Structure 1
């Protein structure tokens, strides 16, 4: 398994996605499958400061697949570093 990683403004962004099942997390339940993601921001080179993790907040719609969730998480991480978004760490 590969973890998507990019370097942005002296930080390393890593994104993880997972599928959320409806109705008590039952994978056999009827209903739409939703995807969620987390972005991890680390400094490059790594220092003594712990990496920061943020749950991605989707504006408008939820992603339909894991690739879209990863792309949105990367953009969310960039927005955090640019100061466009004030996010709360996990």
Structure 2
């Protein structure tokens, strides 16, 4: 398994996604597939600050594929680096 990673303005962004199961987290329950994601922001210089992790907040509906969740997490991480979003870490 590969972890999607990009370099953005001196930071390294990594995104992880996982499937959310409906109704008490039962994988056999009927319902739409939904995914959530986490973005990790590291500085390129390893001697600097620790990595920061953030849960992606979805403005509209939850993504229905893991790829969509990863894309939204990367964009959310870019917005945090740019200062467009004030997020609290995990």
Distance 1:46 1:62 in 2: 34
Task: Report runs of 4+ in structure 1 exceeding 2 Å deviation.
Answer: none
Distance 1:72 1:6 in 2: 13
TM-score if structure 1 supplies the norm length? 0.96
Distance 2:48 2:42 in 1: 10
Equivalent residue, structure 2, for 1:68? 68
Distance 2:64 2:33 in 1: 8
TM-score if structure 2 supplies the norm length? 0.96
Unmatched segments (≥5 aa) in structure 2: none
Unmatched segments (≥5 aa) in structure 1: none
**1:24-35 superposed matches below 5 A:** 24-35=24-35
Distance 2:78 2:48 in 1: 22
Equivalent residue, structure 1, for 2:40? 40
| Structure 1 vs Structure 2 CA RMSD | 0.8
